[in-house]
Amino acid sequence: MVRDRSGADVLFFLCVSANSVRDLPVKRKRQEPRIGLLGGTFDPVHLGHLAVVETVLPRLQLDRMLFIPAARPPHKTGFSITSFSERAAMLKLALASFPCYELCPLEEDRPGLSFSIDTLRELRQRFGRKARFFFIIGFDAFAEINSWKEWEHLLDLTAIVVINRPSHDGGNMAELVSRLFPGYREGAAGVWSAETGENIYSLSMEPVSISSTEIRRRVQAGESVASLVSADVEQYIRDHALYLSEASTSSKSSLSTKA
């Protein structure tokens, strides 16, 4: 899942701020599975992606996390992107030691561009109404969500979890929600709700930059990426000679978001 407009190249490696999300109310209903959704190009998947999930999953008491690689990202038409099968293979390796993390390759066989709304509708059909979805995106993507295909219907299908930086915290987030979703009101700190539709959550995190583009650049330059990706992913990149051409370093990669 990816957005249709070109986003920031850097995915933020996130650590929870001490007083940011501890008061988020989560009403646990064991009969409804709580499923996190993290989409992106994953070219390649790296430790920053996993850090985001490791933070969000316990805070919102999620049962599963689906990693959804984009098949044909609308904001990257014209860019060189590693094949879906290779990106999915790297994801499978990276997730292998996490029992509740799953590769979700449903976009591979769907024709046309990969829009979030289409993926969410397909997931809703597969899981039914009992499952609750939590769609993780970055603050910058949320700020442009009104450029997404049928964005007004996203909250009919999933809660939105906004990974928020301290510089964007508080007023900026409230301002955005008020402008984009005027029917939503903040109850507990960092949670907006309405009479109909799923919640909007804001999780404030301290950023440390890490980027897929930098990984590709390092591979092309013959530099180590051991601190940026899992050992299995590093080995896969080496065995399949990925990211050695100049073209492969030019496409952009952004935090979990699909448009």
How confident is the model over 22-31, as pLDDT tens digits?
334 444 545 7
pLDDT bucket at 9, cuts 50 / 70 / 90: very low
Q: Is residue 60 part of a domain?
A: yes
Longest dimension (CA), the chain: 54
Position with higher pLDDT, 254 vs 67: 67
How far is residue 84 CA from its own chain's centroid?
17
Residue 126 lies in a domain: yes
The CATH number given to whatever domain includes residue 36 is 3.40.50.620
Domain-located, residue 153 = yes
The CA–CA distances, whole Å, from 33 to 36, 55, 62, 133 equal 10, 18, 8, 8
Domain count, the chain: 1
For residue 204, the model assigns a pLDDT of: 79
Residues contacting residue 245 through CB under 8 Å, at least 6 positions apart: 80, 220
Q: What secondary structure does DSSP assign to 124-155, as a single string? A: HHHH-SSSEEEEEEEHHHHHTGGGSTTGGGHH
pLDDT of residue 1: 55
Please say if the pLDDT value at position 151 is more than 90: yes
Res 209: pLDDT: 74
- Whether a cis peptide bond, with omega within 30° of 0, leads into 207 is no
Its sign, for the CA torsion 239, 240, 246, 248, is negative
**Strand bridging mode 191-193 / 185-186:** antiparallel
Confidence of residue 245 (pLDDT cuts 50, 70, 90): confident
The answer to which of 4-13, 32-41, 94-103, 145-154 has the lowest mean pLDDT is 4-13
Please, which pLDDT band fits residue 168 given cuts at 50, 70 and 90? low
Q: Say how many CA atoms lie within 13 Å of 11 toward its Cβ.
A: 31
Residue 48 lies in a domain: yes
As a whole number, the mean pLDDT across the chain is 84
Q: Tell me the pLDDT band of 169, cut-offs 50, 70 and 90.
A: low
pLDDT of residue 171: 61
* pLDDT tens readout for residues 87-108: 999 999 999 999 999 999 999 9
Q: Report the pLDDT value the prediction gives residue 172, as an integer from 0 to 100.
A: 86
pLDDT at residue number 208: 55
* Structural domain contains residue 229: no
Torsion of CA 97, 101, 102, 107, to 10 degrees: -130
Residues 125-147: pLDDT tens digits? Answer: 999 988 999 999 999 899 999 99
Q: 10 Å Cβ neighbour count for 231? A: 10
pLDDT class for 13, splitting at 50, 70, 90? very low
Q: What percent of the chain has pLDDT over 70?
A: 79
Residue 259 lies in a domain: no
Residue 93 belongs to some domain of the structure: yes
Question: Up-side HSE of residue 210: CA atoms within 13 Å toward CB?
Answer: 23
Asked if 234 and 215 count as a contact pair (C-beta separation under 8 A), the reply is no
Residue 28 forms part of a structural domain: yes
Residue 194 has a pLDDT of 97
Q: Exposed, middle or buried by CB within 10 Å (0-12, 13-18, 19+), for 130?
A: exposed
Structural domain of 131: 11-210
Quickly state the pLDDT bin for 8 (edges 50, 70, 90): very low
